[in-house]
Amino acid sequence: MWYVFLIFFLLGKSRLSQPVHEPIVLASHKISLSDRSSNASVNTVFKENILLTISYLFKEQKEGKTVNWEAVNKPFHYDLVLQPHQMFAFHDDVLPQYKNENVITTNADFSSDQGYLSDGYLVGDGVCHLASLMNWVAEDAQEQVYAPTSHEFAVIPDISKKYGTAIYYAPRESSNSAKQNLYITNVHDYPVRFSFDYMNNTLTLSILKTS
């Protein structure tokens, strides 16, 4: 019977020695949410609007529900998968050529009705910082990125101006609104995973190749 045990031993060893295929990181960048503005109160508005958008994207926050800011500000890890040729748009007022596409959006309109905060100038201020981070990482991951309207009118800390992306949602002004959006298409022949990590006031976005 010893040979029976030998067979089981060798089979087990063979399984253990099989390589584990870790996801390949195509691009990864991070920004601090403590330096969005030199004004502390404005920085808080920017930070919380950014985190709220991610909460809407992953449906942790639902429209019409009171925002639990304590929950929004907790550390998190979320994954968004784009299949080959699938598109992400920052909001759902998209350009005519994308109307019939299978588009994933943040599910947000950046309004006070959805709980977004105002810095005294604009409700939802700060969401352009998140869009610009996504633009930066997607470009580095060699995805197809279209950001029709630049954010050159204002600096976005930690991010080069060439990735600055202006975001504006107003369906009644659709010709303007759809142009202030961010469109990312997965042009690879494999799914990619957008991984959002938040801890210690740092937001990291990575795009990984998945099998």
pLDDT in tens, 7-22: 444 445 444 445 556 7
Residue 55 forms part of a structural domain: yes
Q: Say what the pLDDT of residue 12 is.
A: 52
User: Scanning the structure block, which residue is given the tokens 């748009």?
Assistant: 89
Average pLDDT, rounded, for the chain: 91
Residue 114 forms part of a structural domain: yes
Inter-CA distances, 170 with 11, 52, 73, 177, Å: 61, 19, 27, 5
Q: Say what the pLDDT of residue 9 is.
A: 45
Q: Say what the pLDDT of residue 150 is.
A: 97
82 burial via Cβ count (<10 Å: 0-12, 13-18, 19+): buried
User: Scanning the structure block, which residue is given the tokens 């299978």?
Assistant: 102
Residue 10 forms part of a structural domain: no
Q: Is 46 helix (H, G, I), strand (E, B) or coil?
A: helix
Token pair, residue 96, equals: 């005519």
pLDDT at 106 over 50: yes
Q: Are the CB atoms for 205 and 29 separated by under 8 Å?
A: yes
pLDDT tens-digit series, residues 127-180: 999 999 999 999 999 999 999 999 999 999 999 999 999 999 998 887 799 999
Domain count, the chain: 1
Q: Are the CB atoms for 36 and 93 separated by under 8 Å?
A: no
Residue 26 forms part of a structural domain: yes
Radius of gyration of the chain (CA): 21
Residue 32 forms part of a structural domain: yes
193 burial via Cβ count (<10 Å: 0-12, 13-18, 19+): middle
The residue range of the domain holding 96 is: 21-209
User: Scanning the structure block, which residue is given the tokens 């309109």?
Assistant: 109
pTM for this entry: 0.89
Residue 11 forms part of a structural domain: no
Residue 71 forms part of a structural domain: yes
Token pair, residue 168, equals: 């504006």
Inter-CA distances, 41 with 38, 44, 72, 120, Å: 9, 5, 17, 10
Residue 103 forms part of a structural domain: yes
